[in-house]
Structure 1
């Protein structure tokens, strides 16, 4: 048992002493893994942490490109699609039955159970490339927020006319150092406290941005807005309007990206479903994991959509067609400087937690694959108990230490090479939205429910998938064009927004 648990890198190996006095069953779930203690509350916290991220900061800019009509419509469309497909994905966690079937611990495991073949490799490529991209994007965003604190104090001290340019690089190093420590926590369930803190931070900075936008609108300052967004010939050229529209769609897609970690969240925190058949047993049965996950998805997506609509629309009303790419670091606001500082500190703290939510599944995949291929390697599989003050017993694995440290360093280096906020987020959103949020959940639902080919439900599900593919392609094109333009004007060692 210990050997099997040891091979599962996302969970700490338990020593035999942990199960003295016949408590093994009490401490394990039905699959032999340590008892999960999560609920829909902790799942909601993980989802909110994953969804309300750096994407909210670019929504005012995205709405400015799309306008009053298309902007809210695109936001609501992505919200509906994300929630709908997340419910399909939650049902696929167990196979073949959504309640009593065999657990699947990763997104790839679910695809393997329902679709198999080459689609498993395609899913893995899409999912883990997306997770890498998101962690790089969060490194960029967190460093920009840290820089914004320093710049805010500079503007307050020397005036708004001063450039106050500061390099992002030292702050990327600071962020990476923090992640080096957190990445050594091997158990996703042990990160629930970090997700709850991060969720609180996301509410804080979103609320601050929203409040400052409302104050600016209430101040009566005149800004230009329109039904169709930025105006051709005044704000942008015709081609720029098209490319920016595409990129804005990618930014909104990124803002709703969490399907990539939904299965991992569901597998790591929800305890086993216990059905009590004894008529005298008055203990209430636990709800199935899929129902708890659907409830968590409903709360998470609806909460974030409310914030997104408010931040995007009121942000556009505050800044108009000149909305900055990041409304808390692009210095649409200068005062009160201390509140701007606090909001950006909240962003940094939030992204510290969000980085781990997206990195842990990748860590687990690589470590699990290596342990399966080299089961006799002590470097890969051995756990060494270390007594850490104020923590307790920590099980140190040298492969985990080396691999996760190398990963954090590499993502920080790539972030230093491409420190472009909007363009990078749009590209990540475009690349992950169709395959991971739409295509695979729909295909697995069709396989699970045995939906007849060419039936009404089959046809509209396929239409939804193809429409989302087109949306992803045009969003990717806009983001790539934006990256090319940013590289042309790139000035190293200066703040990139």
Structure 2
């Protein structure tokens, strides 16, 4: 298709099946006044109705009812005005629909207020999920026979997480939802690319967007590390813990900002593409440092996969122990092994490894990102509930006391490594950036995605770490949801651990796919005529669409999964393993190589102001990484010998 034909394509294309389609080539909307009424009532009546009697009691017989009527009138006016904003520029004949509240704000008020509004919407939705968790635990505590309120609250909590993820509001006032309710359609649609569309490098046209990149990043960042943050904060104390969390967030953003400009060679907009972290190191820094970077990247990715196997087994075991404690009592000797669950997770990953590459697994990242928000919200909500029940904030400025200064230093160093593991994703940043469509330029989209994802994860991290420490103080468990700081409601803890498992299924693939891709490319170049390496076979299974398999991929990827599973069985130490992995990857992969490549890309002169600042920054991060590595290695040795 020529460039001219693309640019002159009409904005609205007509279809012969116009009887079934609306003016946007969507299935004709079938909603009516009663379906809209049902949606609105579902959206308005929620947990808030349970507090109305108390509110009226505070305001009295006059002020209470008048205030309720006033808010009803205000909500009606808001809905009345917003109803005319669904179509643009005319409320009835406009050709552009605002399918959501956020779309309308962006269309009418511009990008700046759109971002402000988005932040407020996300904050409110996040607060709503916490309120629903508190409501569910309260309902369980006061009505053990009939969990109606708890179940309803739990379901609405899940809907709110989905709403935040896909930019759809579900809360009073009604105006938040009005754009969504007016855009109700009969079915979901799957967008497909036109065949024969290629990018400037001859590959199939990339379709990734800002939000698919955010989903990939959140899937990569929020993983096993989030569960150890409360323990890390307890070791560092109320000042050093949050400060180091913010420091790691800042370091990660700077690293991603520098590395995003290295996706294309020489020019960040029009240059030749680097498809992976290693190819970028080779182009900018030469073959010698490529071998070092390749080894460290492989070690980091491989270690992350191993950590995910450990975490998954821990979560599955925690589900069994939670049910056992609920039935037998909190003092019951509920003991279960890890190895069988590690093997089961490995079998699942063998099947998941048949996904060809990152381009084909956006859906995995979306599901994994939703799961990460879910279990992080549950952990946060349980922490808040425990703080409220305790009636005070636990913990101290200096953290958990130790028997001597040496033991305290080991634990502090290990905590630094754990927090470092929770952040950097630079080893797969270029692989994610390679999924983005252009225009707009990939580096600009990636920088925005990094900013959004890091802000979201940092907010979650601070909440989980601080409320977890505030709830348990010196007794904070190494893993917030599996260390049994919480016992009830057991079903909610079970669900949170199940969400972790689902997230780790996708997270494992995010970290192993770059290795799979690198090995596939190397073997194809090394053995271009080998059928075992290059031939594809079409396989059709009952009830499934046909797909292609490659014998080399099956053998290598299966062996890879077996090796990570075996290593996890050999060293099943959650906090210590995370600390080692975080320390190993934090400085060399997240700081040193991105800074060095940025120097070459931007031609930064030695001893210039920017050169000195970035060198000092790199040296400081090296010292932090070294301390974390030493502390975590000491922890592994102590655990193995004990």
TM-score (norm 2): 0.69
Tell me by how many angstroms 1:189 deviates: 1.4
* Structure 1 partner of 2:545: 392
Residue 365 of structure 1 pairs with residue 531 of structure 2: no
Map of 2:327 onto structure 1: 157
Asked if 1:483 is matched to 2:636, the reply is yes
Following superposition, the deviation at residue 163 of structure 1 comes to 2.2
**For residues 110-143 of structure 1, what are the alpha-carbon distances to aligned partners after superposition, in whole Å with 9 as ceiling and x for unaligned?**
1111111311111101101110000000000011
Is 1:307 the equivalent of 2:428?
A: no
Please, which moves more after superposition, 220-229 or 368-377? 220-229
- 1:283-294 mapped onto 2 (5 Å cutoff): 286-294=439-447
Q: How many Å apart are 1:392 and its aligned residue?
A: 2.5
Q: Match for residue 228 of structure 2?
A: 58
Q: What secondary structure sits across from 2:487 in the alignment?
A: coil
CA displacement at 1:356 relative to structure 2: 0.1
Query: Partners in 1 of 2:404 and 2:325 — Cα distance?
Result: 32
Q: Which residue of 2 aligns with 1:144?
A: 314
Q: Once the 2 structures are TM-superposed, how far is the Cα of residue 390 of structure 1 from its aligned partner?
A: 4.5
Mapped to 1, the partners of 2:357 and 2:515 lie a distance apart of 13
Distance in 1 (alpha carbons) for counterparts of 2:543 and 2:263? 36
Shift in Å at residue 99 of structure 1?
A: 0.4
Q: Give per-residue Cα distances to partners, 1:171-205, cap 9 Å, x unaligned.
A: 11111111010001112111110110000000000
TM-score for both structures, normalised by structure 1? 0.89
Q: Which runs of 5+ in 2 are unaligned?
A: 1-193
Which residue matches 2:436?
270
Cα distance in 2 for residues equivalent to 1:366 and 1:30 = 24
Task: Check conservation: 2:431, 2:514, Cα contact below 8 A.
Answer: yes
Deviation readout 1:286-329 (Å, 9 max, x if unpaired) = 21001111111011111000000010011100010111000100
Aligned match of 1:320: 473
1:258 lines up with 2:411 in the alignment: no
472, 480, 499: which one aligns with 1:346: 499
Give me the whole-angstrom Cα distance separating, in 1, the residues matched to 2:233 and 2:296. Answer: 28
Matches of 2:394 and 2:346, distance apart in 1:
40
The answer on whether the counterparts of 1:223 and 1:321 sit within 8 Å (CA) in structure 2 is no
Which residue of structure 2 lines up, in the alignment, with residue 472 of structure 1?
625
Does residue 1:78 correspond to 2:244, yes or no?
no
4+ residue segments displaced more than 3 Å: 221-224, 388-391
- Partner residue in 1 for 2:101: none
Residue ranges of structure 1 left out of the alignment (5+ in a row):
1-22, 274-285, 490-497
Note the C-alpha offset of 1:34: 2.0
CA distance, structure 2, for counterparts of residue 84 and residue 388 of structure 1: 47
Shift in Å, 1:222: 5.8
User: 2-side partners of 1:166 and 1:257: how far apart?
Assistant: 33
- Structure 1 residue 386, shift from structure 2 partner: 1.8
CA distance in 2, matches of 1:196, 1:146: 22
**Structure 2 CA distance for partners of 1:391 and 1:100, relative to 1, 3 Å:** farther
SS at match of 2:201: coil
CA distance in 2, matches of 1:137, 1:56: 13
The whole-number CA distance in structure 1 between the counterparts of 2:419 and 2:429 is: 19
- 1:150-299 matches, within 5 Å, as 150-220=320-390, 224-232=394-402, 236-267=403-434, 269-271=435-437, 273=438, 286-299=439-452
Stretch deviating more after TM superposition (423-432 or 371-380): 371-380
Match of 1:18 in 2: none
3-state secondary structure, aligned to 2:540 = strand
Contact in 1 for aligned 2:357/2:517 (Cα 8 Å)? no
Distance 1:183 1:221 in 2: 48
Please state whether the residue corresponding to 1:94 is helix, strand or coil: coil
Q: Considering only CA atoms, is the larger Rg found in Structure 1 or Structure 2?
A: 2
| Residues 1:424 and 2:577 are matched in the alignment | yes
SS of structure 1 residue aligned to 2:547: strand
1:239 & 1:222 partners in 2: Cα distance? 30
Q: In structure 1, how many angstroms separate the alpha carbons of the residues matched to 2:544 and 2:454?
A: 34
| Greater RCO structure (CA 8 Å; 6+ sep) | 1
- Answering whether residue 612 of structure 2 is matched by residue 459 of structure 1, we say yes
Post-superposition Cα deviations, 1:237-265, rounded to whole Å, max 9, x if no partner, equal 32111000000000000000211111111
Number of positions where the alignment pairs a residue of Structure 1 with one of Structure 2:
449
